[in-house]
């Protein structure tokens, strides 16, 4: 079942990559490239999980690269709907990504326990809350916020596990059991929300 959910997630991610690439070709708007980055990484991550198994999630390199998923989507939302603070958010995102990369790959566990929840938490909040309050967003764009809520909870729980901790009742076995269906539901919610953009 895990492979089926990952294949379906990959298909949706591939569609969204095509969708945002087409929109960038048409409008040359930067936010489409940010969205494209997020879903391209989701597609690649899904393929790696299919061929290498869920065990690769423990890799610091995978944790670092996977951070580009919330990074891309949150930067896209900030760029498109919140121009007043998009520049500051870009700096925050870049610093956060570098912090996760350095602390994860460098084995700095105590600092990683700070960097990962802070970066993922803020990016997740932008994805979750942003679509509900964005001015000029198309009707139904709130589905993107639902997708953000789904993956935000799973992502934070997974981050705690990779750091050797547990978030509430999210034990390693429980997180692994719900991860692939959660990825599929998240991708479906994103597709519904972004499809409303026309």
- 10-residue stretch averages of pLDDT, the chain, 198 residues long: 89 95 92 95 89 77 85 94 92 91 86 81 90 90 92 66 58 72 91 80
Query: With left for phi above 0 and alpha for psi between -120 and 50, is residue 137 left, alpha or beta?
Result: beta
120-158-44 Cα angle (round to 5): 80
For residue 25, what pLDDT is reported?
A: 93
With beta carbons less than 8 A apart as the criterion, state whether 115 and 100 touch.
Answer: yes
List all residues 6 or more positions away from 175 whose beta carbon is below 8 Å from its beta carbon: 154, 157, 158, 161
Q: Within 13 Å, how many C-alpha atoms sit on residue 43's CB side?
A: 14
Query: CA nearest 146: which of 197, 82, 178, 190?
Result: 190
For residue 156, what pLDDT is reported?
A: 64
For residue 172, what pLDDT is reported?
A: 64
For residue 164, what pLDDT is reported?
A: 59
> What is the value of pTM for the model shown?
0.87
For residue 168, what pLDDT is reported?
A: 58
| 170 beta partners | 167
Q: Report the C-alpha gap between 76 and 80 in whole angstroms.
A: 6
With beta carbons less than 8 A apart as the criterion, state whether 161 and 148 touch.
Answer: no
Query: With left for phi above 0 and alpha for psi between -120 and 50, is residue 140 left, alpha or beta?
Result: left
| CA distances, 35 to each of 13, 47, 70, 105, 139 (Å) | 11, 19, 9, 25, 19
């Amino acid at each position: 079942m895990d492979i089926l959910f990952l294949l379906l997630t990959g298909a949706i991610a591939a569609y969204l990559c095509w969708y945002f690439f087409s929109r960038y070709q048409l409008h040359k708007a930067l936010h489409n490239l940010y969205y494209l980055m997020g879903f391209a990484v989701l597609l690649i991550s899904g393929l790696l999980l299919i061929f290498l198994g869920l065990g690769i999630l423990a890799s610091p390199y995978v944790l670092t690269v996977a951070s580009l998923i919330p990074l891309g989507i949150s930067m896209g939302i900030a760029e498109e709907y919140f121009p007043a603070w998009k520049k500051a958010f870009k700096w925050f995102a870049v610093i956060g990504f570098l912090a996760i990369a350095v602390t994860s790959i460098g084995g700095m566990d105590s600092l990683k326990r700070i960097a990962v929840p802070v970066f993922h938490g803020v990016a997740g909040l932008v994805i979750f809350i942003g679509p509900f309050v964005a001015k000029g967003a198309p009707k139904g764009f709130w589905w993107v916020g639902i997708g953000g809520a789904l993956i935000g909870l799973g992502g934070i729980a997974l981050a705690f596990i990779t750091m050797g901790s547990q978030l509430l009742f999210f034990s390693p076995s429980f997180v692994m059991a719900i991860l692939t269906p959660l990825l599929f539901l998240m991708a479906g919610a994103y597709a519904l929300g972004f499809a409303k953009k026309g």
